[in-house]
Structure 1
Amino acid sequence: MAGPALAPRRATGGVISVWVAAALTGLAIGLFVPAEWRAAWLVVGMGGCLTLAFVVQLAYGRSQGYIQRVGISVLGALLVMGIISLGFGLASIVVR
């Protein structure tokens, strides 16, 4: 018989782990992918972050706030990857 959790785990670790994965993915794409292919690979990386957000929050095991946690994870990953890609875009303009 499963009883209610008296002190459930905090969900912030799962959310932040997706943001860290997005930062690492964005940096890897910016460093290793040619400039003309970066936009396409950033979309693939964002899809991977979306999948990771679903997996992490499903592994968390609580249904309360699931959509909110996934939404915060994905929105944060989008912002992190956007800021990193903006940095690489500005760097490519300056280096030319």
Structure 2
Amino acid sequence: MVEPALAPRNAFHGVVAVWAASLIVAVVLGLVLPEGDRVTGLLIAFGGVILLAFAVQLGYGRAQGFIVRVAGSVAGALIVMGLVSAAFGLSALAAAL
């Protein structure tokens, strides 16, 4: 007979950690890179965030809900990085006016 895990770790913390990492990376790249290279840098960073999402969720060692957790991590990171990118784009547009 298989005994269930008594207190499995909350996998939502891993999802939020990926979102936080994507926010930090997007802001740092937005500040460091020149305007012409921001999109390329953010695309490469998003690829790294996808790998990070897989690594974090594999680290939990739970198969149940793996796809949902990775999808939530990646979708949230995409939204976060998109909002940061839009904010930098609007600031560049306002500076040009």
Length, aligned pairs only: 95
- TM score, norm. by length of structure 2: 0.94
Could you say what secondary structure the match of 1:36 adopts? helix
Structure 2: give runs of 5+ residues left out of the alignment. none
Structure 1: give runs of 5+ residues left out of the alignment. none
Q: How does 1:30-49 map to 2 (within 5 A)?
A: 30-49=30-49
- TM score, norm. by length of structure 1: 0.95
Q: Deviations over 1:1-58 (max 9, x none)?
A: x843122111111000000000001001100001001111111010010000000000
Give the aligned partner of residue 86 of structure 1: 86
Give the aligned partner of residue 10 of structure 1: 10
Identity of aligned residues (%): 47
Give the aligned partner of residue 51 of structure 2: 51
The list of structure 1 runs, each at least 4 consecutive aligned residues, that deviate by more than 4 angstroms after superposition, is: none
Q: Which amino acid aligns with 1:56?
A: V
Q: RMSD in angstroms over aligned alpha carbons?
A: 1.1
